[in-house]
Amino acid sequence: MRLAILTSGGDCPGLNAVIRAVVRTATDRHGWECVGIKYGWKGLATGEMIPLPTQAVSGILYRGGTILGTSRFNPAKDKETTARILENLVLHQIGGVICIGGDGTLRASHEIAKLGVNIVGVPKTIDNDIAATDVTFGFQTAVQIVTDAIDRLHSTAESHNRIMILETMGRNTGWIALAAGLAGGADLILIPERPFSYEKICEMLVKRHERKSFSIVVVAEGAFPEGGKPVDIGELDAFGRPRLGGIGFELAREIEARTKIESRVTVLGYVQRGGTPVAYDRILATRFGVAAVEAAYNRQFDCFIALKGEDLVPVPIADGTGKTKTADEKLFEVAKLFFG
Ligand code: F6P
């Protein structure tokens, strides 16, 4: 079989580890030929693809990003686009597609799978918000990057007796902020799952500054005050979702005005998606890639691979998407013990 691989949606560390695992497993174990689709589903609409012999994936395990490029191109956006994709699949004799992407990509892929295209998905997002899988590759790397940033912010916060506010990614969940805030010893963690009260957080910060000269506040980009809503930049992405960002600056303004304590903001942004994956993510991404090929070999299509405990199992796309995994309540209660 000729197997296509595409990476879609926001990039994240580990994508190349999946690509490498898919190509090596498909080629070495099943004698299949692999092709890489450029820039997500867009490459199947335009016919941009490259051969992926095993030599092409040599040395990419540790590399961040994706050698194929990615986009938020929606394959089901209109009939003409879908028709072009189906034509290119036939023209290039592609028997199956391994689609690596987040919830939006997997849902769009299901629309294509319903037309008879053999698709196996691999869930991907640093946000770790896909309910069907215990964790997604890329998440632990993002947590490490944010934790390293928190460690660095401690020294400058302490030197200036400031409140340092660190805004993380995570879209509408607080997994990254919560995990990294706990690992980095943050004095306050604000996440979308727990709308906050300016009055209460400022009271806590003023009380803390009676005995400590600085504070580290980690805020997820989707966090918002009670009665409010997430701050966005006024644009929608290709899947019609608001592009979040800016709560860190709103927090700094409000906190400094109310507490009179100098406050500064760091927005980590795309640094959280850059660079080499940590070892955990290299291993997990590799396992996802191998499992995706085996699902294709067993003709388990229109599904995506999910980590459940120690096992990687295929989950029907229709059942496993559209459900957000919010940050763990129990973990937040643990983190709260160290606030203030
Ligand atoms: O889903 C991953 C993610 O990094 C989110 O945390 C963030 O809100 C979004 O992608 C940013 O999207 P874009 O890369 O389109 O700006």
List the domains of the chain with CATH numbers: 2-137+277-320 (3.40.50.450), 142-273 (3.40.50.460)
What is the Rg, in whole angstroms, of the alpha carbon atoms belonging to the chain? 21
138 C-beta closer than 6 A to ligand 1: no
pLDDT the model gives residue 240: 81
Pick left, alpha or beta for residue 81 (phi over 0 → left; psi -120 to 50 → alpha; otherwise beta): alpha
Residue 219: CA count within 13 A, CB half-sphere: 30
pLDDT the model gives residue 251: 98
* Segment 146-164, tens digit of pLDDT: 999 999 999 999 999 999 9
* Segment 277-330, tens digit of pLDDT: 999 999 999 999 999 999 999 999 999 999 999 999 999 999 999 999 999 999
* Segment 208-245, tens digit of pLDDT: 999 999 999 999 999 999 999 999 988 888 778 899 99
- Closest ligand 1 atom number to CA of residue 272: 4
Residue 133: CA count within 13 A, CB half-sphere: 32
Does pLDDT of 63 surpass 90?
yes
Does pLDDT of 273 surpass 90?
yes
Mean pLDDT of the chain: 97
Rounded to the nearest whole angstrom, what is the distance from the C-alpha of residue 45 to the centroid of ligand 1?
23
pTM of the full predicted structure? 0.96
Does pLDDT of 53 surpass 80?
yes
Of the chain, the percentage scoring pLDDT greater than 90 comes to 97
Q: Establish whether 127 is a catalytic residue.
A: yes
**What average pLDDT score do residues 40-65 get?**
98
Does pLDDT of 52 surpass 80?
yes
Residue 125: CB atoms within 10 Å: 27
171 C-beta closer than 6 A to ligand 1: yes
